[in-house]
Amino acid sequence: MSSSVVLLAIESSCDETSAAVLHNGKILSNIIATQAIHEQFGGVVPELASRAHQQNIIPVVSEALRVANIHKKELNAIAYTQGPGLLGALLVGSSFAKALALGLGLPLLGVHHMQAHILAHFIEEPFPPFPFLCLTVSGGHTQIVLVEDYLKMKIIGETLDDAAGEAFDKAAKMLQLPYPGGPLIDKYAQTGDAQKFKFNKPEIPQLNFSFSGLKTSILYFLQDQTRKNEHFIKENLADICASIQQTIVDVLLQKLKKAADMYKISHIALAGGVAANSGLRKGLETLAVQKQWHTYIPDFQYCTDNAAMIAIAAYYQYQQKQFVELTQQPLPRWEM
């Protein structure tokens, strides 16, 4: 490996267009353009995401290079999110990365989006020591991962249906809150009574999760209550949000506890957009005191989708010379 490595990384798997520049493991810039277009549809519309990526990608990459004060001729490799994600969205980032790599005569690094969420822990210290467990909770995924080394990870539990972020967003939609509703549930929950309403908690074997039953339970509960009082949601919003949040957090932490006991690991990390949830953070803190865990949560900008995490993952792949060919296709359903 050469002594100095400068990488440009591009993330375009869902509804954030992002570019980052890294120098020797240090992030010099991390530019993120969030696509507001999806708000009015209550969820990400894949075709609109692709179009927005096409509009955003050149300005986002230019800005990342400008902020980093790096000229494209100083780059050593180009990294991009190879999957998993929306095919059309991935295609924009991968085509752009390939064209740039070809034009500049640089090697190409295809990064796994979920591995990158976990490797975001190596952007800023303290770094978790190996092995550690990572609960990755985002709009698309819910996984407990055994992380043995930078590029050696094993999923030991995952959702059988909806992701945790999706459960938050779908519950928010039922409460007529705009997309993405996860952060709003968190906000209203702050002043609510989490014990006020009870929802069915799924009983799923091993370390797996399921959130579709909870969604149905919330829906029936709201239908039932609004039949009796049409202002029920408005009058009880904080308590409903707090109760929903508590239920989701309990489910996540119960499995995390089980995993830590099973694998006898006390270094526990959170990753993904739902790691921003204050109920989850508080719950993890309390559990950590009880169980004597060391916990790790990346800075918020590195929890939600961003290219800095793609850059840091690419940095480790670069050291292992794990390059991809220009013929490599995006992999929307890439297994970890």
- Name the token pair of 150: 């930078």
282: closest CA among 252, 241, 259, 309?
A: 252
Residues 6+ apart with CB under 8 A from 57: 10, 12, 17, 19, 92, 93, 96
| Least distance (Å) between residue 181 CB and Zn ion | 17
Residue placing its CB nearer to Zn ion in the complex, 136 or 317: 136
User: Counting contacts by CB under 6 A, is residue 274 touching ligand KG4?
Assistant: yes
Residues 6+ apart with CB under 8 A from 295: 268, 269, 270, 284, 285, 288
Residue placing its CB nearer to Zn ion in the complex, 113 or 170: 113
On whether the CB atoms of residues 184 and 169 are closer than 8 A, the answer is no
* 24-43: contacts with ligand KG4 (CB under 6 A): none
41-77 CB burial, b ≥16 within 10 A, e <16: ebebbbebbbbbbbebbeebbeebbeebebeeeebbb
Residue of 180, 192, 298, 330 interacting with ligand KG4 (CB under 6 A): 180
Binding at 128: pick from Zn ion, ligand KG4, none (beta carbon under 5-8 Å per type): none
Residue placing its CB nearer to ligand KG4 in the complex, 220 or 300: 300
Residue placing its CB nearer to ligand KG4 in the complex, 6 or 251: 251
User: Counting contacts by CB under 6 A, is residue 183 touching ligand KG4?
Assistant: yes
164: closest CA among 273, 85, 67?
A: 273
Which part of the chain contacts ligand KG4 (CB under 6 A), choosing from 73-81, 122-130, 177-185, 232-240? 177-185
Q: What is the pairing mode between strands 6-11 and 16-23? A: antiparallel
User: Counting contacts by CB under 6 A, is residue 272 touching ligand KG4?
Assistant: yes
User: Counting contacts by CB under 5 A, is residue 138 touching Zn ion?
Assistant: yes
242: closest CA among 208, 291, 283?
A: 283
Displacement of CA 187 from its chain's centroid (Å): 19
Residue of 49, 185, 305, 306 interacting with Zn ion (CB under 5 A): 305
Residue placing its CB nearer to Zn ion in the complex, 31 or 175: 31
User: Counting contacts by CB under 6 A, is residue 168 touching ligand KG4?
Assistant: yes
User: Counting contacts by CB under 6 A, is residue 276 touching ligand KG4?
Assistant: yes
> Which residues here bind Zn ion, judged by CB under 5 A?
138, 305
Q: Which residues bind ligand KG4 (CB under 6 A)?
A: 14, 138-140, 165, 168-169, 180, 182-183, 186, 272-274, 276-277, 304-305
